[in-house]
Amino acid sequence: MTKEKINEEELKKKLNSEAYHILREKGTERAFTGKYWNHKDKGSYNCMVCGSELFASDTKFDSGTGWPSFTDPANTKSIDLNEDNNHGMQRIEVTCKKCGSHLGHLFNDGPNGKKRFCINSACLLFKEKKT
């Protein structure tokens, strides 16, 4: 998948300053402040920038960390995993494969031996599942 070209000036107008900082400058939101950390509706969590489906609600769980946490991506072709050694830590950064936006990080402490995709709410656009 080729990365989508993003007009940064247009994106700055579309997003609030916190979302832009997180998505494009690899920031993070404070724990327990994002709109989806305790969200329980059924549907999909998509990239705020390009709309790619990233995570399904049935893989979301309460990790106790204050960020939306998922065990698996909706489609492994929707995300990229990158080594991140910033801030004196060794982590795996999660980015959107289509637009390159920073989403969060991947950790090895998910339930039942699974991984934990720790994702910033500001990076997500929720689409409710129609029943």
Tens-place pLDDT, residues 24-35: 999 999 999 999
The per-residue pLDDT for 64 is: 94
The per-residue pLDDT for 2 is: 55
Q: Where are the domains of the chain?
A: 8-128
- For 11, the token pair is 């994106």
**Alpha-carbon span 111 to 103, nearest angstrom:** 20
| Nearest alpha carbon to residue 100 among 52, 57, 56, 68 | 52
| Nearest alpha carbon to residue 62 among 54, 71, 74 | 71
Tens-place pLDDT, residues 58-111: 999 999 999 999 999 998 899 999 998 887 778 899 999 999 999 999 999 999
pTM recorded for the entire structure:
0.91
Residue 7 has pLDDT above 90, yes or no: no
The per-residue pLDDT for 70 is: 98
The chain-wide mean pLDDT, for the chain, equals 93
Inter-residue contact 74 to 55 (CB < 8 Å) = yes
Q: What is the CATH number of domain 8-128?
A: 2.170.150.20
User: pLDDT category, 131, cuts 50, 70, 90?
Assistant: low
Residues recognised as catalytic: 118
Residue 1 has pLDDT above 70, yes or no: no
Torsion sign across C-alpha atoms 30, 83, 101, 118: negative
Residue 53 has pLDDT above 60, yes or no: yes
The per-residue pLDDT for 121 is: 98
